[in-house]
Chains A and B, each alone.
Chain A
Amino acid sequence: MEISTHDLMTVLHGMGFGALFMLAFSGALAELYRMSAPGPAVQPSSRERTLLNFYLIAMVILAWFTVLSGAYIVYPWYRAVPPAGVTDLAEYPRRLLLSSSKTSEWHNIGMEWKEHVSWLAPIAMTMVAYVTMKYGRAITQPRHMRTAVLGFVVAAFVATGIAGAFGALLNKYAPVRGGSVIILMEGEQ
């Protein structure tokens, strides 16, 4: 059982950071909604506030790790230019997709959209974490701060969903390959 360094980094980018960040949305939305829901005030305990703050900070870190590792580590491998004369484009995903009209839109729409829209998520989540940590349940008074917080969480979720879905599909049609091989386990045969 072996994996290349490029594969490993791509998995870390998509599954390690991106998917974890995506999974965390349901918890964040539920807790932010519960904390700020209209009706009788629910005062979170000090421990609950600390937990929510930690949760939001973890989401912000995951969001930034996802986009930074994507743009500055994985994306350069994706857009690598093959040397003259190379006909096997397996290690050059962008060129591989653009080489056929059946796959070119995966790059022209999928990657072009993903590489930009994904950056809205960490910007939005950083704001959400800051405002929530600073104001706590006071974001409901008046309700407009709550509207902004929940609205930007949803926008971040949508942006992450778009990026994640296209990331998975792009990796199916033109996976990032190459790098040195890491042997994880040797089989008997």
Chain B
Amino acid sequence: MSMLQDQARFGGVDIPNGAGAAAILAAGIGCAAMGVLAFAGDAWDGVGKALNFYNPTGTLSGVTDLAILIWLGSWFALHRVWHARTVAIAKVNVAAFALLIVGLLLTFPPFMDLLQGK
């Protein structure tokens, strides 16, 4: 699909899809970050302790805080680069859904155990 076809159309006027693509890919990155950090905190005691930002909540505090930072940071960075451009949204979607699946799988405890050989 050409870049021209990737443009969104508002009332007959083509507008760049970059801002939307940045939000979509960043959401995928945020979901994957949640999964990767959850897995790392579970697999390695040292990482788990390092992610204990707030003791009453434990490792979950660091996992969620860092994942949110990564999500918002990547959204900000991608938005700055893409907001005025038209990007190949189909490729962005494939990457975003792949990252979402990573996030879903790595938050599933039996899958985490499988990767750790438990």
Chain A interface residues (CB < 8 Å from chain B)? 67, 71-72, 75-76, 79, 108-109, 112-113, 115-117, 119-120, 123-124, 126-127, 130-131, 134-136, 138-139, 141-142, 144-145, 147-148, 151-152, 155, 158-159
Contact = CB atoms under 8 A, between A and B. Distances in A.
B34 A123 contact: yes
A116 B27 contact: no
A112 B64 contact: no
27 contacts: A67-B64, A79-B56, A109-B109, A113-B109, A115-B60, A116-B63, A117-B107, A119-B34, A120-B31, A120-B103, A120-B104, A123-B30, A123-B67, A123-B71, A126-B27, A127-B23, A131-B20, A131-B23, A135-B17, A138-B10, A139-B8, A144-B89, A144-B93, A145-B89, A147-B93, A151-B97, A155-B104
A151 B99 CA distance: 13
A100 to B, nearest CB: 18
Interface string B79-110: 00000000001101100110010011001111
Contacts of B47: none
A91 to B, nearest CB: 15
Contact of A141 (B9, B57, B63): B9
B51 interface: no
A76 B1 CA distance: 50
Interface in B25-48: 26-27, 30-31, 34-35, 38, 42
B8 A79 contact: no
Given A123-B27, A152-B96, 8 more contacts: A71-B60, A109-B110, A120-B31, A120-B34, A123-B67, A134-B19, A139-B20, A148-B96
B34 to A, nearest CB: 5
Contact of A152 (B6, B8, B27, B61): B27
Given A115-B60, A144-B89, A144-B90, A108 B34 contact: no
Contacts of A120: 31, 34, 100, 103-104, 107
A67 B64 CA distance: 10
A148 B24 contact: yes
Contacts of A135: 8, 10, 15, 17, 20
B12 to A, nearest CB: 11
Contact of B57 (A72, A134, A151): A72
Contacts of A126: 27
Nearest to B71: A123
A120 B38 CA distance: 12
A22 to B, nearest CB: 18
A71 B57 CA distance: 6
B116 interface: no
